[in-house]
Amino acid sequence: AIVKPLVRLRKILQKEENIGSAISKRFATTEVIGLADILDNRLELLEQSRDRLARSEKLLNTSELLSKTGGWEWDAIREKMFWTQGTFRIHDFDPDSRETKEHGYIKRSLACYAEEDRSEIEKAFQDCLEKGEPYDLECRFTTGKGRNLWIKTTGQAVWENNRIVKVHGNIQ
Protein backbone atom coordinates (compact mmCIF):
# COMPACT_ATOMS: atom_id res chain seq x y z
CA ALA A 1 0.00 0.00 0.00
CA ILE A 2 2.79 2.44 0.91
CA VAL A 3 5.15 1.09 -1.76
CA LYS A 4 3.00 2.18 -4.74
CA PRO A 5 3.36 5.95 -4.15
CA LEU A 6 7.14 5.53 -3.92
CA VAL A 7 7.19 3.69 -7.25
CA ARG A 8 5.19 6.55 -8.77
CA LEU A 9 7.59 9.09 -7.24
CA ARG A 10 10.57 7.29 -8.75
CA LYS A 11 8.93 7.27 -12.20
CA ILE A 12 8.09 10.98 -11.98
CA LEU A 13 11.63 11.84 -10.92
CA GLN A 14 13.10 9.79 -13.74
CA LYS A 15 11.01 11.78 -16.27
CA GLU A 16 11.37 15.22 -14.61
CA GLU A 17 13.36 17.67 -16.71
CA ASN A 18 13.00 20.95 -14.79
CA ILE A 19 15.18 20.28 -11.71
CA GLY A 20 18.14 22.48 -12.67
CA SER A 21 21.43 22.02 -14.42
CA ALA A 22 22.24 18.65 -15.94
CA ILE A 23 24.80 17.81 -13.23
CA SER A 24 22.69 18.81 -10.26
CA LYS A 25 19.67 17.28 -11.94
CA ARG A 26 21.45 13.98 -12.39
CA PHE A 27 22.81 14.01 -8.82
CA ALA A 28 19.49 15.05 -7.24
CA THR A 29 17.46 12.60 -9.29
CA THR A 30 19.90 9.76 -8.61
CA GLU A 31 19.95 10.61 -4.89
CA VAL A 32 16.16 10.71 -4.60
CA ILE A 33 15.73 7.58 -6.70
CA GLY A 34 18.30 5.81 -4.51
CA LEU A 35 16.45 6.87 -1.36
CA ALA A 36 13.14 5.82 -2.91
CA ASP A 37 14.66 2.41 -3.70
CA ILE A 38 15.88 2.04 -0.12
CA LEU A 39 12.45 3.05 1.20
CA ASP A 40 10.76 0.65 -1.22
CA ASN A 41 12.93 -2.21 0.02
CA ARG A 42 12.41 -1.35 3.69
CA LEU A 43 8.67 -0.97 3.28
CA GLU A 44 8.43 -4.24 1.41
CA LEU A 45 10.30 -5.98 4.25
CA LEU A 46 8.00 -4.29 6.77
CA GLU A 47 4.89 -5.44 4.91
CA GLN A 48 6.28 -8.98 4.68
CA SER A 49 7.00 -8.96 8.42
CA ARG A 50 3.51 -7.67 9.16
CA ASP A 51 2.01 -10.42 6.99
CA ARG A 52 4.10 -13.11 8.74
CA LEU A 53 3.10 -11.74 12.14
CA ALA A 54 -0.60 -11.73 11.20
CA ARG A 55 -0.33 -15.30 9.89
CA SER A 56 1.48 -16.40 13.04
CA GLU A 57 -1.13 -14.76 15.30
CA LYS A 58 -3.95 -16.42 13.35
CA LEU A 59 -2.25 -19.80 13.68
CA LEU A 60 -1.71 -19.23 17.42
CA ASN A 61 -5.38 -18.34 17.91
CA THR A 62 -6.53 -21.39 15.95
CA SER A 63 -4.13 -23.69 17.82
CA GLU A 64 -5.30 -22.35 21.18
CA LEU A 65 -8.93 -22.77 20.19
CA LEU A 66 -8.41 -26.37 19.07
CA SER A 67 -6.26 -27.35 22.07
CA LYS A 68 -8.25 -25.28 24.59
CA THR A 69 -5.12 -23.57 25.86
CA GLY A 70 -4.01 -20.02 26.50
CA GLY A 71 -0.77 -18.23 27.20
CA TRP A 72 0.15 -15.24 29.30
CA GLU A 73 3.13 -13.11 30.22
CA TRP A 74 3.76 -10.99 33.32
CA ASP A 75 6.34 -8.26 32.67
CA ALA A 76 7.94 -7.83 36.09
CA ILE A 77 9.76 -4.65 35.12
CA ARG A 78 6.75 -2.76 33.74
CA GLU A 79 4.22 -4.62 35.92
CA LYS A 80 2.06 -5.38 32.88
CA MET A 81 0.16 -8.51 31.99
CA PHE A 82 -0.46 -9.84 28.50
CA TRP A 83 -2.97 -12.58 27.70
CA THR A 84 -3.51 -14.42 24.45
CA GLN A 85 -7.02 -14.82 23.07
CA GLY A 86 -7.07 -18.40 24.37
CA THR A 87 -6.57 -17.19 27.94
CA PHE A 88 -9.48 -14.78 27.59
CA ARG A 89 -11.60 -17.62 26.16
CA ILE A 90 -10.81 -19.99 29.04
CA HIS A 91 -11.69 -17.29 31.58
CA ASP A 92 -14.82 -16.25 29.63
CA PHE A 93 -13.58 -12.66 29.86
CA ASP A 94 -14.02 -9.94 27.25
CA PRO A 95 -10.54 -8.84 26.11
CA ASP A 96 -11.81 -5.27 25.65
CA SER A 97 -13.18 -4.94 29.18
CA ARG A 98 -11.61 -2.32 31.43
CA GLU A 99 -11.63 -4.86 34.25
CA THR A 100 -8.99 -6.93 32.46
CA LYS A 101 -6.44 -4.15 32.10
CA GLU A 102 -3.09 -4.42 33.90
CA HIS A 103 -3.56 -5.56 37.52
CA GLY A 104 -7.20 -6.33 36.78
CA TYR A 105 -6.07 -9.42 34.88
CA ILE A 106 -4.54 -10.95 37.98
CA LYS A 107 -7.31 -9.93 40.37
CA ARG A 108 -10.12 -11.23 38.14
CA SER A 109 -8.23 -14.39 37.25
CA LEU A 110 -7.51 -15.23 40.90
CA ALA A 111 -11.21 -14.83 41.69
CA CYS A 112 -11.90 -17.68 39.22
CA TYR A 113 -9.88 -20.19 41.25
CA ALA A 114 -11.64 -22.12 43.99
CA GLU A 115 -11.13 -20.35 47.29
CA GLU A 116 -9.19 -23.26 48.75
CA ASP A 117 -6.78 -23.22 45.74
CA ARG A 118 -6.10 -19.47 45.58
CA SER A 119 -3.35 -19.34 48.18
CA GLU A 120 -1.52 -22.18 46.43
CA ILE A 121 -1.66 -20.47 43.03
CA GLU A 122 -0.66 -17.09 44.53
CA LYS A 123 2.31 -18.65 46.36
CA ALA A 124 3.42 -20.57 43.27
CA PHE A 125 3.31 -17.40 41.17
CA GLN A 126 5.20 -15.35 43.81
CA ASP A 127 7.86 -18.06 44.18
CA CYS A 128 8.26 -18.14 40.41
CA LEU A 129 8.49 -14.34 40.23
CA GLU A 130 10.84 -13.94 43.20
CA LYS A 131 12.90 -17.16 43.18
CA GLY A 132 12.52 -18.45 39.63
CA GLU A 133 10.78 -21.64 40.75
CA PRO A 134 8.58 -23.01 37.93
CA TYR A 135 5.14 -24.36 38.77
CA ASP A 136 2.64 -26.78 37.31
CA LEU A 137 -0.72 -26.93 39.10
CA GLU A 138 -4.18 -28.37 38.56
CA CYS A 139 -6.94 -26.36 40.19
CA ARG A 140 -10.70 -25.96 40.34
CA PHE A 141 -11.81 -22.97 38.33
CA THR A 142 -15.07 -21.10 37.71
CA THR A 143 -15.11 -18.91 34.59
CA GLY A 144 -16.58 -15.44 34.29
CA LYS A 145 -19.75 -17.07 32.92
CA GLY A 146 -20.00 -19.58 35.74
CA ARG A 147 -18.63 -22.68 33.98
CA ASN A 148 -16.92 -25.03 36.46
CA LEU A 149 -13.65 -26.45 35.18
CA TRP A 150 -10.49 -28.15 36.26
CA ILE A 151 -7.59 -26.27 34.73
CA LYS A 152 -3.89 -26.87 34.53
CA THR A 153 -1.67 -23.81 34.80
CA THR A 154 2.08 -23.51 34.52
CA GLY A 155 4.54 -20.71 35.05
CA GLN A 156 8.21 -20.24 34.27
CA ALA A 157 10.55 -17.35 35.01
CA VAL A 158 12.40 -15.52 32.24
CA TRP A 159 15.86 -14.42 33.33
CA GLU A 160 17.98 -11.61 31.90
CA ASN A 161 21.28 -10.47 33.43
CA ASN A 162 20.77 -12.66 36.50
CA ARG A 163 17.35 -11.28 37.36
CA ILE A 164 13.79 -12.29 36.64
CA VAL A 165 12.23 -9.93 34.14
CA LYS A 166 9.12 -11.87 33.13
CA VAL A 167 7.01 -14.89 33.95
CA HIS A 168 5.56 -16.87 31.05
CA GLY A 169 2.65 -19.14 31.67
CA ASN A 170 0.06 -21.41 30.19
CA ILE A 171 -3.50 -22.33 31.13
CA GLN A 172 -5.51 -25.25 29.80
CA angle 11, 16, 18 (to 5 degrees): 165
The confidence score (pLDDT) of residue 71 equals 95
Distance, in Å, from the CA atom of 88 to the CA atom of 95, rounded to the nearest integer, reads 6
Which pLDDT does position 17 carry in this prediction? 54
CB-based burial, 41-51: b 16+ in 10 Å, e otherwise? eebeeeeeeee
pLDDT tens figures, 47-91: 999 999 999 899 988 888 899 999 999 999 998 989 999 999 999
User: What's residue 97's pLDDT?
Assistant: 73
10-19, 87-96, 160-169: which has the minimum mean pLDDT?
A: 10-19
Closest CA to 168 of 125, 107, 113, 123: 125
- Give tens-digit pLDDT for 104-150: 778 889 999 999 999 999 999 999 999 999 999 999 999 999 999 99
